Amino acid sequence: MSLRENFLIISPSWIGDLIISQSVLKYLKKEYINCSIDIIVRPDLIEIAKMMPEVNKIYSLDIDHNSLGLAKRYRLAKTIKKNLYTSSIILPNSFKSAIIPWLANIPIRIGYKRELRSILLTQKYSLAKHENTMVNRYLKLVNSSYSECLRPFLNIDMNTLELTRKKYIISNSRKNIFLCPEAEYGAAKRWPINKWIELAKYFEENNHNVYLLGKDKNLERQYKSILKIDSITSLLGKTSLIEATYLLSLADLAVTNDSGLMHITASLDTKLISIFGSSSPFYTPPLMKDMLGEVIYKGLKCSPCFKRECPLDHLNCLNNISVDEIFKKSLKYLN
């Protein structure tokens, strides 16, 4: 790679993976000071990508997960070919994610040898999926490894922050606790609902404001027993992703499953307790600033299984994490 580079990044589709991938953008900006970085992302992730100061231009690619979408890829490749990109880094592992750089005839196309896509790449790396952390898996493609200077960090616009604070009436009179009980990947990553309810009560009894945050409006029904309490508020299904991001930046503490909101929280310097079940904190840890939080993980013999549903039907990796444990660990970040 030359000292004056024009990069096209094919971004991951998951929120958390997109946040993690910012470390690659930070490395490129550090190593190639005059470089330009454009990225291709899903439409629903554009607003998050705009919060990454390393990004110059954003292309939206709206294709269903199970669709090849060759016509859309061809049209976008035709558009971006005019920009004369010198290198493309393809972070997802699918065959289809490597098509656009190949169609655009970008001279250097870097990615992992997966799904028989070697013919589309010019620089190819072997992949052992869970052998390394996700961030180092991405950074390997640019011959680097993770350090604190590459930690993801989203830029906050102060005007948007104040508008969000006013819209959702977030008060400074008490500590604001955000509980994020969802994990889109599957039930094996979700701490049980009864434990979230009990934890919310603990915080409320200690004179804190509690907010439930996530995108599933239907989940609200399962929390109706505590939503009669004035200081416990459900924002489930009531915010956009960008609003959720700004709300998390206002939190005194967030408690999350291993989820996209966990990675967003870590990138905002918000204090964080993250709960891991079927996944591994050694593979996708929250890349948070030192001393701003911790991971709760039991590391059972059957963990991590990386399954969407518990294959043993006991979910002990999450059931063995008690409400008392989470609450007591939270106290040191609130005092």
Residues 253 and 172 in one domain: yes
Query: Predicted confidence band at 2 (pLDDT cuts at 50, 70, 90)?
Result: very low
Asked if 180 and 320 sit in the same domain, the reply is: yes
Question: What span, in angstroms and rounded, lies between the C-alpha atoms of 175 and 206?
Answer: 10
pLDDT for residue 1: 44
In CATH, what number is assigned to the domain containing residue 58?
3.40.50.2000
pLDDT one-digit tens code per residue, 184-204: 999 999 999 999 999 999 999
Rounded-to-integer distance, Cα 132 and Cα 126, Å: 12
CB 43 within 8 A of CB 63: no
pLDDT at 65 over 90: no
pLDDT in tens, 118-172: 999 999 999 887 789 999 999 999 999 999 999 999 999 999 999 999 999 999 8
Q: What pLDDT, in 10s, does the model give residues 204-225? A: 999 999 999 999 999 999 999 9
pTM: 0.95
Domain count, the chain: 2
CB count in 10 Å sphere of residue 137: 21
The answer on 121 and 92 residing in a single domain is: yes
* Rg (alpha carbons) of the chain, rounded to whole number: 21
| Residue 275: domain span | 160-334
Q: Are residues 209 and 312 in the same domain?
A: yes
Q: Which two tokens stand for residue 201?
A: 């009560």
Please tell me whether residues 120 and 171 are part of one structural domain.
no
